[in-house]
Structure 1
Amino acid sequence: MDTFIKDYDKILKKHSALETNDPLDRLIAVVNEAREKIRADPSSVNTSLAALGKSVKSASQTISDEHKEVQSALTKYSKAIDKKFTAEAMSPINLHAFDNRQHILRKTIALHYIRQGNFEIGDTFAKASRVLSVKEAGLDIPDTIRHQFVEMFDIVASLKENNLEPALQWAKRHGNELEKRSSTLEFKLHRQKFLQLLEARQTQEAIAYARENFKDFGARHTQEIARLMCCILYMDRINSSPYSDLTTANSSDDIQHMFTRDFCRLLGLSYESPLYVSLTVGTQALPKIIKVASIMKAKKTEWSQESEMPVEIPLTDDTKFHSIFACPVSKEQATEENPPMMMACGHVVCKESLNKLCRGNTTQRFKCPYCPIEAMASQAKNVYF
């Protein structure tokens, strides 16, 4: 890849050089010079035009040569990429993955539009795909979901205009649910409102607001509330004070992100659209899958396990949603058919390993492979991560 980057930089420099010496500007300069000579000495029209013709021809040739050089570099660069990346992107794709399940894909796309705030597009797509009529499969999109996201985007629009009131009202209505999830959204909104009053030089109003609204958060946010109250002393020079972090430029963006995340969490939905996450993960995984597919094709072998990737795909933290358990006995990853089971001693193994340890007799005692305690398969409990 380093070679491609260096070649690309060379092409970019050549293209920048062409833009710096605009060909049309050079031709215009030659024509203007000839025109001024003719104006100054009308009798020199023939010689000036002859000289102009030579200059235009020379400039045109120079421009043509420069463009040919760039075009040649681009052609070589394109051939080098084609030669390096010869894998067929379609080779690992299962074209029948959504057979008889197109309605799931269509619903996912429609919901993606709605979750992005493109409500008219989402509604139109849903109706065109007849997603809303799939009542028998239970895949209709409830109007409540659309109304909830309309409310969310209305509140986000208010936050972008530094209007915290709609978000504060929503946080108060859902205070108990947010508290159960250890969310700090409501406190952060009050904190932002307090700082807005201070920035507007409404010190007394800010103090009164703090007395009224910070009292319910004293146990969890004692130190932060203390800092907020002390920063009043430095408002005239807060940017050079120990409290400069309280007025960071991205605080409004943080509030919007936190509100959107908590709003989706209360709906039982992920912060990002499932379609976006799927495409992101698929893009990350595609190079490795293509490589594995090409190796299998060369060796004339096939991957025999269903619902399992042939190689491990490293994912970023924001695309990991489930804990992964690998059985310490069999070294295999747990699945729905082979779930993790916790024995009486607290150690966990997969169900298949448990059956082997007890030799199929759920009431027979056996020694835990990791401690001296004896256990029975009938006492083991299914563990959910």
Structure 2
Amino acid sequence: MSNSKVNVEGIMLFEQPFARVPYENYRKVFRTSQKNIERELVAVQTASNDLARRAKESAQDPQDAIKSLESMIGRVEGLKRKLSDLQDSAGSPTQDVMRERLQHLNAVEDVQSPKDPEYTRWEDTRLDRWLVDWVLRHGKERTARKIAQEKGIETLVDIDLFMDIRRIEDALRSRSCTEALAWCSENKTALRKLKSTLEFDLRLQEYIELARARKTKEAIAYSRKHLVPWQETHLTQIQQASALLAFPSTTTCNPYKRLYDPSRWSNLVRSFRLAIFNLNTLPSEPLLHLALYGGLSSLKLPTCYDVATKNVDCPVCDAWFGKLAEEVPFSHHVNSTIVCRLSGRIMNEDNPPMAFPNGYVYSREALEDMAARNDGMVKCPRSGEECDFSKLKKVFIS
């Protein structure tokens, strides 16, 4: 961001998921309605064609024809109701959410300067959104909902999405694929575009559980129905799974021991979360972390991880931020920057470094403030040495 203009393009790099989540919800509602309408329309067309064919053959009983027409009229009326419902849903909550989010994004484009109070309010709202996102990713839905209500940003956060994620992940941890498979069915087309193998992995796990329970007939039938259709892309895995029926869950044979490994359920949880994040273009990291990485990368130095040289005013030296900063590279400075241990301010030509006789260095501003409070005397906080301000020497950095 420059001092005179807000960098809208840079801001929007973080905001794609913000608009994508309600769009995906709206698309899902539309596709479901479309499928229902198409099903009714096909049924009406089939009945109409059958009635016309029988009329040509003069094989239609009048009473049967009347019943067929009444059935067709009933279906057409049902189709009319569904079309009317679809039109009324133009003001659905999902569309309202999308509208409010786009208006929120549009607001930042109207801001003329980063010093504008309107931009400060927009930034505060964005930070609240990122905090809610962080809380949701750590499974604290009640806290997230309370923050959203207090800040009035319910339509700007994805609480419902993360509630669905939590529900499906809990089912997987309870060793049930039903919820996850239902989600895959609802998003089959999108998952196919993403080339996701989540559905096959879930089907394979259900087959493994049948093999674990030694339900051989059920496992074979399940494989024919749900695994064989994937043979073009997963033939090797299907063949290995077929041989699994010859081995009990206590086997020590590595390929089949790995298939029976309970840790596969944890892998399914991670695969599901990755799939739903990709579908909604959500990053795998919390948005708050992504925003912090930029600042941490400009501050991170090797000395931040040296216990003897930690700076209380440095975010990277903090235990929590330091852990987060491990993900980013060290800062690269063409010119060295020296920070005063007393004031936390950078020492430069306007605030040059001053050295005690013992060699410890602090900024002139901080030492002048200390001298003004102590009759011209200054004290080194690390060694305890005291001297008159006039005894300090200006340090020149080469």
Query: Structure 1-normalised TM-score?
Result: 0.46
Q: Greater relative contact order (Cα 8 A, min sep 6): structure 1 or 2?
A: 2
Query: Structure 2-normalised TM-score?
Result: 0.45
